[in-house]
Amino acid sequence: MKVKVLKTFIDKHTKERHEKGKEMIINKERYEEILSSPHEGLIEEIKEEKKDNKDKKTKK
């Protein structure tokens, strides 16, 4: 799932620093783990709009 960093934080597993405004892809389990941390408001899910992938065919 795609998320946006709301507050800069250091990932406790990877020790990577995630800056405010960064977009990243994480799995649902990790998303839930970050949300349940005592540091509220670190990330938010980016809802992706579903695109209509119908091919437009034109007749010649």
The pLDDT tens digits of the residues spanning 4-59 come to 999 999 999 999 999 999 999 999 999 999 999 898 899 999 997 776 665 555 55
Burial of 40 (0-12, 13-18, 19+ CB in 10 A): exposed
Q: How many domains does the chain have?
A: 1
Q: How far is it, in rounded angstroms, from Cα 60 to Cα 36?
A: 57
Q: Is there a domain that residue 56 lies in?
A: no
Q: What totals of helices (H) and strands (E) does the chain contain, helices first?
A: 1, 5
| Domain of residue 19, residue span | 7-45
pLDDT at 2 > cutoff 70: yes
Q: Is there a domain that residue 15 lies in?
A: yes
Q: What is the pTM of this model?
A: 0.74
Q: How far is it, in rounded angstroms, from Cα 18 to Cα 33?
A: 16
Q: Is there a domain that residue 39 lies in?
A: yes
Q: Is there a domain that residue 28 lies in?
A: yes
Q: Is there a domain that residue 54 lies in?
A: no
Residue 57's pLDDT is what?
A: 58
Q: Is there a domain that residue 21 lies in?
A: yes
Reference 43, options 31, 54, 53; nearest CA is 31
